[in-house]
Chain A
Amino acid sequence: MTKRTRLFLLVAAGILTVGLGTGLLASYMGVQNLTLIGGNGPAEFAYVPADARAVGYANVRAVMDSELRRKLTDLHPGGDHARSFQEQTGIDVENDIDYVIAAVSGSDPASGGPPLVLARGRFDLVRLEGLARQEGGTVEEYKAIRLITHGDFGVGFMEPGLVAIGTPAAVRRAVDTKSGSATSISGNDELMRLVRDVDDGTVWGVARFDSLAGARLPLELSSKLPAINWFSIKGLINGGVEAQISAEARDDVAAQDLREVIRGFMALARMQIGQNVELADLMNSLQLGGQGKTVSLSFSVPSAMIDALGALRAHRRPEAPQPAPDAPGPSPEAPQRPAPPAL
């Protein structure tokens, strides 16, 4: 063997050894857990307990300012609900809320219950408290945090510009978590690992699959699905939508099975849509990906497609029938459904 052959073998084996060594070290030490490299989620995670089964985030400010939202508003003009909500609470959803985080905690997926919602923005606390009292709510202090409760509903004013909404027990637990009595979600390595993969989205969510499907899917269907542990979704909203749905299966075989199932559905859908150009663009954007235990499905709804769908909808919308001059209008005496409490 000549000298240059030996040199080549040494260099090639060196690259392999260094690469494998670095990878092994990264896997063993869990490099992704270092906060210097990956973020640790929003600061409000300090209020979310570690046993969260699902967590979601929406950058309301970015969604409201997006071109997509403007187009959708043009398609569906309205906003009466938002206006009445603003009149009652003083909160202008379009301008006063920056982002919201929602989390479902507890070990029993079937227990249900509303999520804990943390909203960051600008709130008129005096007005909200007054409204709560008017609706029959009670105001209390819990660990120096002002808490309004009304039956199974509670609002906590956690810090300036941050409110927590959920059941009174969930809000109290959020206060406990922040004060250090309980571990926060940042200590849940498994969930945080998935959060780091999606937290650059405008909206995103991570959930244990059983918390999503266990209580809702029929047993016949859920028993036939490949074993999925985690499920995540990420959306980037601008003029259109770019989304990625990911699932983490129990093992590589389950992931492979899931890919086959999705691939089959994609092929079926492609055959079904035929010559429908609008949907064909959407179908062509579908990309099945993932490696190892992860399966991901990405798709894009570009701005042009939303414009085309809007134009199509406008074209297909039938002319609104004009009421006959003698037709009876809605009776002023008709019973109205009682409005739910504003908070």
Chain B
Amino acid sequence: MSRDARPASFMNGAWRVFELSLGEMLWSRRTIFMAIVVGSPVILAVIARIVQATGIAPLRVNGVRVDAAGMFGMMIWILFLRFIVPVLGVFYGTALVADEVEDKTITYLFTRPIRRSAILVGKFIAYLVCTTLVVLPAVMLVYFLLVPFGEIGASFTSLLTDLGLLAIGLAAYGGLFALVGTVMKRPLVVGLVFAFGWEQLALIVPGYLRRFTLAYYLQALVPHAMPSDGVVSLLQSVFTDTPSATTSLASLAVAIAGSLMLAGRVVERREYVLDQ
């Protein structure tokens, strides 16, 4: 066996796939969707900043002026945590393997001297780098646009927490939906139903169901107050039981590691029959 034909180590293989997949992910049509989704809060923050400069309160909720830090907190909750992170997780996570199957290109990857699970891990890391390097700078821009310079010192630790939890959220949703993408035939539909159906419902139902959602653990890490923006928030506040930060971090770590291991196992064992 020649030197090149020897199977690469797991990490080497994952790195090769990462390098290949990162460029593909960044310059795909999905990136336009991601740019629109992640760019909207930045545009909103620019508008808010301009309105604020004219002396008008940019945001009032039921007549109450919302201050800059409050607006930033609302954006983290409503736009990033409840929408952007799950939606990116669904769209990118489910596509990690499913896209290769759909495009009938998975055969080319599987014929390389790389372990199948290394392909999945490499693609997952590429997804994580791609999304975090788009989402986190956007959050940073929103923060500096909204929060007055004099208040940065007081709220900076909260920003660090926000950045950390968004990265963890992207990893958790990405991992889970990568698993969905490897086992399900229509992973996108299942992912959307999970993120915007099951999770929303389970959070407002009393009992233990909420423990089977990712949002339950992610929301416990948010340093901002949950916005009281409707009946769903009211129900959530009534039936809330917030887990500790340690429990949340441990649960999310288990969810990420567990879903990736399961996804890797499925990819290793499954025989992909491509439609002709």
A residues neighboring B (CB under 8 Å)? 1-2, 4-5, 8-9, 12-13, 15-16, 19-20, 22-24, 26-27, 29-32, 34, 37-38, 193, 196-197, 236, 240, 242, 244, 252-253, 256, 259-260, 263-264, 266-267, 270, 281, 284-292, 295-296, 298-300, 302
Contacts and interface: CB of A to CB of B under 8 A. Distances in A.
Most chain-A CB neighbours within 10 Å: which of B19, B72, B155, B227?
B155
Given A26-B153, A31-B149, A267-B237, A5 B27 contact: yes
Given A23-B159, A244-B67, A270-B234, 20 more contacts: A13-B133, A16-B136, A20-B160, A23-B160, A24-B156, A29-B153, A242-B65, A253-B245, A259-B225, A263-B226, A263-B240, A281-B62, A285-B63, A287-B70, A287-B228, A289-B66, A291-B72, A291-B155, A291-B225, A292-B157
Interface of B: 19, 22-23, 26-27, 61-67, 69-70, 72-73, 129, 133-134, 136-137, 140-141, 143-144, 149-161, 223-228, 234, 237-238, 240, 242, 244-245
A255 B108 CA distance: 54
A318 to B, nearest CB: 32
15 contacts: A12-B134, A16-B137, A19-B140, A22-B152, A27-B152, A31-B152, A242-B64, A253-B244, A267-B237, A288-B225, A289-B70, A289-B73, A290-B224, A290-B225, A298-B64
Nearest to A13: B133
Query: Secondary structure at chain B's binding surface: helix, strand, loop or mixed?
Result: helix
Contacts of A193: 154
A295 B158 CA distance: 13
Sorted nearest first, the 3 A-B pairs with minimum C-beta distance are A19-B140, A12-B133, A15-B137
A288 B158 CA distance: 17
A271 to B, nearest CB: 9
Nearest to A28: B153
B223 A285 contact: no
B64 A1 contact: no
A287 B59 CA distance: 12
